[in-house]
Structure 1
Amino acid sequence: MTGRANVLSDCAAVACCSLGAPYKSLERFAKATGFGLFVHFLDVAVLRVRPAPIIYFLLHFATPDAENAETLARVRRYPSLKVRLAPVILVAQDCDATTFLSYVQMGFDDILCLPEQPQLLVDRLTRQLNQNIVYIETADYLGPDRRRMELPGAQHAARRSTAHMHSRLTIRRSLADGPVILERQDHWDNIVH
């Protein structure tokens, strides 16, 4: 691995899946990409003994979408910024555009489709670090700004036809500071598209 892989060696990966084949798959993924610590969510207490500045939550495509969505929601509601703003990555198999966009709309920070070269995966994972990332926060969503990523012709009436409050957060994740909110802009949208 290159020097960029060393960045992940200072990070932890938490597998949010069953302990069977999905866990083994994520374990191989974490090893191939160079994470310094890999634990199952049931063993997350290990992070108190071996803290990491950045924690990646890894979810697996074999887990039902409803369970992955609930896990994502629990992470985004967690009181600590270190968890709430942590990268949540879905490790998936190659899929069609409709399935991929459904994953995007769930709010994952990235969706990595396997099989793929380990260095490309490392590059994608390290894009979550040391750069400004825009998040949107509403009453029922916190995650990357994905408003313009949808299938052609898709209409999300609830998002476009009602007035609602949302915040635009600029966040940054670094090994030195962990995840931080650099800027928060609150908006009241009262425009029908």
Structure 2
Amino acid sequence: MSQFARVMVLVVDDNHYMRVIVCTMLRAIGITLIREASDGAEALEIVRDWRPDVIILDLVMETIDGIEFTRLIRRGTDSSHPYVPIIMMTGHTDRRRVLEARDAGVNEIVAKPLTARALIDRLKSVINNERGWVKSSTYVGPDRRRRTLPGYKGPFRRTADKADGKM
């Protein structure tokens, strides 16, 4: 039995063939509890009734794109599953788009064209290495800080924390 046998995944992409490719990759590693949506609006409907363990979605889609979908899941007043890990697939990997996705609350980003290894690595990351959660007036999502400084000895990690006299 695969380590992923009980993992439920929602795949969201407006390109049918991309959904087929992603679902084929997921099945190859033992994930069979898969649902598909062709856009963000359909995905929101699915998430109302089904609580996937992971959502894999495209950035660029009609109606509701991946960024807006993530914001609605993370911050929507009627969101039924705000903490679900989200992996965003995109061919738009310029810094601005990556930061926009991160700031919307995406857990991981995988570049298109996808490789099975990249997708599996991101899945393992969100399943096995759950990051802390941040909820503030301007951001809701996984902790965006990925580095742990080896010599760090306190609760504050930002440069501004010293200036505030908190250290």
Tell whether the structures are fold-level matches, with TM greater than 0.5. yes
1:47-71 Cα distance to aligned partner (Å, 9 max, x none) = 65xxx7x521222122269732331
Matched-pair contact (CA < 8 Å) for 2:12–2:57: yes
CA, structure 1 residues 29+145, in 2 after alignment: closer, same or farther (shift >3 Å)?
A: same
What's the counterpart of residue 8 of structure 1? Answer: 4
Q: TM-score, normalised by structure 2?
A: 0.63
Computed over aligned residues only, the root mean square deviation of the Cα atoms, in angstroms, reads 3.5
Q: Is the 8 A contact 2:73 2:82 kept in 1?
A: yes
* Per-residue Cα deviation, 1:159-193 (whole angstroms, up to 9, x for no partner): xxxxxxxxxxxxxxxxxxxxxxxxxxxxxxxx5xx
After TM superposition, list the pairs within 5 Å mapping 1:76-87 onto structure 2.
76=74, 77=76, 80=80, 83-87=81-85
Report the TM-score, using the length of structure 1 for normalisation. 0.56
Give the residue type in structure 2 aligned to 1:29: V
1:12-36 Cα offsets, whole Å, 9 max, x none, are 2223444xx2x43133213213332
Partner Cα separation in structure 2 for residue 100 and residue 119 of structure 1: 20
Give 1:14-53 correspondences, 5 Å limit: 14-18=10-14, 21=15, 23-34=16-27, 35-36=31-32, 37-40=34-37, 41=43, 44=46
- Counterpart Cα distance in 1 of 2:129 and 2:84: 14
Q: Partner residue of 1:106?
A: 104
Matched AA of 2:58 = H
Change in 2 beyond 3 A, CA 1:105/1:120: same
Change (3 A) 1:79 1:38: closer
The residue type paired with residue 143 of structure 1 is G
Tell whether the 8 Å contact from 2:134 to 2:140 is kept in structure 1 after alignment: yes
The Cα of 1:84 is off from its aligned counterpart by: 1.7
For residue 72 of structure 2, give the secondary structure of its aligned residue in structure 1.
Answer: helix
- For residues 67 and 114 of structure 1, the distance between their equivalents in structure 2, rounded to whole angstroms, comes to 16
Check conservation: 1:133, 1:144, Cα contact below 8 A. yes
Deviation at 1:110, TM superposition (A): 0.5
With 7-16 and 100-109 compared, the bigger mean Cα shift is at 7-16
Residue 136 of structure 1 deviates from its aligned partner by 0.9
User: Once structures 1 and 2 are overlaid, which stretch shifts more, 36-45 or 137-146?
Assistant: 36-45
Distance 1:7 1:69 in 2: 29
Quick one: which amino acid aligns to residue 44 of structure 1?
Answer: I
In structure 1, the residue matched to 2:124 is: 126
How many residue pairs get matched? Answer: 139
- Is contact 2:133–2:143 with CA below 8 Å preserved after alignment? yes
User: Could you report, residue by residue, the CA deviation over 1:133-159 in whole angstroms, capped at 9, with x for unpaired residues?
Assistant: 11210134211222689xxxxxxxxxx
Equivalent AA in structure 2 for residue 39 of structure 1 = E
After superposition, the C-alpha distances for 1:76-98 in whole angstroms (9 at most, x for unaligned) are 24554xx2211111111262233
Q: Distance in 2 between matches of 1:79 and 1:66?
A: 15
Unaligned runs of 5+ in 2: 38-42, 148-163
Q: Which amino acid aligns with 1:7?
A: Q
